[in-house]
Chains A and B, each alone.
Chain A
């Protein structure tokens, strides 16, 4: 329970159906830690797991009559989500902390706690669907009814064991329907706006976060300044640090030529940011590692799927085939724009999530 409309409505629905429900909120990040650092807000409200959100969740639990607990997972969150987030940016990649949080916290540590306290299933407010395939004996993760709210992109890393103990009650509903239900259940948070950003980066300014976090743990921001180069290798300028850039970025390059320039690639080791024109942003192939397969046990032969390379991206037709262990090669029918290392590539067969991995 995040204190938001989705998870609150799930709790209310399940309770109304007569299930034995316990509400859990994960305390993931001490919102006070970085307050006061330059650029970081003093009081943080309305972020996932802020005191206000916990209050909201607790009130919902009380309204629907279920026990409610806040579980402290700060240490694990810092280790498995925040630190990798920082390291990825410093290596020139663009991370997805929500994917890591799902893999390591929500559907791992939290699921363990849920089962330890006697629960059979963990229910969340994710817009996704789960179905058991009797033929293959596998749990299938599928896109929800409301494609606009589809969160399966962040759930590609879930295992069969995890999916077997999970339910997504909102999979068949649209957001307006969910809000309607929340009103029906008389939940105070029915009109609460959705939280869109990363829960531990207030205001979405990840650069300030990197500064503040590293300062707080007593490290300094490493110097990754270096050269701005063209795809031919010509040096055309300088940059102040690779973490300031993401593939496809146009602003903040500091050089002006006749044509608009975009970040094509970030070469972490060489501390180089490769820039080029819009055409150069397109590519047909990508490689992922740490592949997780859901609908199938293994990728023994090439498979035709649609692939999402970003949360906001229409799945594009491609062929996937296994590479070295854990790696998958993806070849698109049409070139895709701004393939970004650090993001996830998630494979779909119609509405079914075949699996996915992290883009190299």
Chain B
């Protein structure tokens, strides 16, 4: 079966150039980057080159880049590295579970957390952040782009508020890096998270940008890696890959190639809206990253649609998966005020650099007939038709 992958917000394939860049670092140039001999010097240089590449992508300086095992670790480091008992934290209700659960943990160790709501379009109001500030607010953490809807948050405005209040500001940019330009100076953030596998590098590597002068307690104790901010022998192949992926992303952003992704996403979006009735976009009208669109298909369960599409070769997703692999209801859609039934009827489509227009055509062939089949067998759809 030929398969089309439209779930790039879950993870992306490693691009050929990225794989080529990292390949020598498994068995040829394998030294521990901290070793003083030739083998270590080689890999140290490779890590530092990657560091420069990521710094360029974020418009920051190389020493401000801390490599981690991924986005989750970077989010945790941002939260636990800055906050202690008695502090107050401001976050939002739509954050990724890495931030939400870290903040929940903070509450159990004597911190207070304010969770800013979003409006129907899924956007945080900076004024709400302003209002939530207290004398003991230590950290504001608001994501740059939401993983489920792709909606972009007003990070620059929030950054301004953070600067004025002299409060540390972190943004989880996992879903934004490589898709939209990031300039940490303009954003005025002190901390920013990047995840390798969301931008065509492999799983197992990420970045926390730490603005110079930002105090940060490490979570991992051991060697003095990453200027004593994150102990642990560097994942050289992963870091090299991330560096290469960052170069490719920067080039694509500068050349406007991301526009192609947006065009395909828009084609998919309008195609679905035209061909299927009782469908809508969650987060309609909000600024979004160019690769994501989240639809609701009234009268069916998103979970069943995802399975039905997968069995025909199209990969997409809904909400978040729990440890059994079953799908959990989306806290993001709920926070946007979307009614439970409609939230359950929602499915996310997210594109990557490797997707082609033919794949969008394939999807547009498949989705309407699959939705129709589901609706025919759905008691909910039957009820909706009967009452209309």
B378: A residues at CB distance < 8 A: 112, 116
Do residues A70 and B311 form an inter-chain contact, with CB atoms below 8 A? no
A14: B residues at CB distance < 8 A: none
Inter-chain CA distance A51–B312, complex, in Å, is: 28
B311: A residues at CB distance < 8 A: 22, 67, 117-118
B373: A residues at CB distance < 8 A: 116, 118
Inter-chain CA distance A72–B323, complex, in Å, is: 12
Given the contacts A27-B326, A116-B374, A72 and B303 also touching, CB distance less than 8 Å:
yes
Do residues A69 and B307 form an inter-chain contact, with CB atoms below 8 A? yes
Inter-chain CA distance A112–B323, complex, in Å, is: 24
Inter-chain CA distance A333–B45, complex, in Å, is: 91
Inter-chain CA distance A69–B323, complex, in Å, is: 13
Classify chain B: how many residues form its interface, as a range.
20 to 34
Inter-chain CA distance A216–B322, complex, in Å, is: 20
B222 in contact (CB, < 8 A): no
B303: A residues at CB distance < 8 A: 71-72, 113
B323: A residues at CB distance < 8 A: 51
Given the contacts A22-B311, A67-B310, A67-B311, A116 and B304 also touching, CB distance less than 8 Å:
yes
Do residues A113 and B304 form an inter-chain contact, with CB atoms below 8 A? yes
Instruction: Tell me the dominant secondary structure on chain A's binding face.
Output: mixed
Do residues B301 and A54 form an inter-chain contact, with CB atoms below 8 A? no
Inter-chain CA distance A58–B312, complex, in Å, is: 20
Interface residues of A in 47-78 (CB under 8 A from B): 49, 51, 54, 58, 67, 69-72, 74
B325: A residues at CB distance < 8 A: 54, 58, 69-70
Do residues B308 and A115 form an inter-chain contact, with CB atoms below 8 A? no
CB proximity of B333 to chain A, nearest CB, Å? 15
Do residues B326 and A115 form an inter-chain contact, with CB atoms below 8 A? no
Do residues B377 and A115 form an inter-chain contact, with CB atoms below 8 A? yes
A113: B residues at CB distance < 8 A: 301, 303-304, 307
B300 in contact (CB, < 8 A): yes
1/0 per residue, CB under 8 A from B, across A209-229: the answer is 000000000000000000000
State which of A22, A67, A71, A112 has its C-beta within 8 Å of the C-beta of B379: A112
CB proximity of A257 to chain B, nearest CB, Å? 51
Inter-chain CA distance A9–B173, complex, in Å, is: 46
Do residues B310 and A70 form an inter-chain contact, with CB atoms below 8 A? no
Q: List 22 A-B contacts (CB under 8 A).
A: A27-B322, A27-B326, A49-B324, A54-B324, A67-B310, A69-B310, A70-B324, A70-B325, A71-B303, A72-B326, A72-B327, A112-B378, A115-B377, A116-B304, A116-B373, A116-B378, A117-B307, A117-B308, A117-B311, A118-B308, A118-B311, A118-B373
Identify the A interface with B (CB < 8 A). Answer: 22, 25, 27, 49, 51, 54, 58, 67, 69-72, 74, 112-113, 115-118
8 other contacts beyond A58-B325, A113-B303, with CB at 8 A cut-off? A27-B322, A51-B324, A70-B326, A71-B307, A72-B326, A117-B304, A117-B308, A118-B312
Please provide the 6 A-B residue pairs with the shortest distance between their CB atoms, ordered closest to farther.
Answer: A27-B326, A72-B326, A70-B325, A70-B326, A117-B308, A54-B324
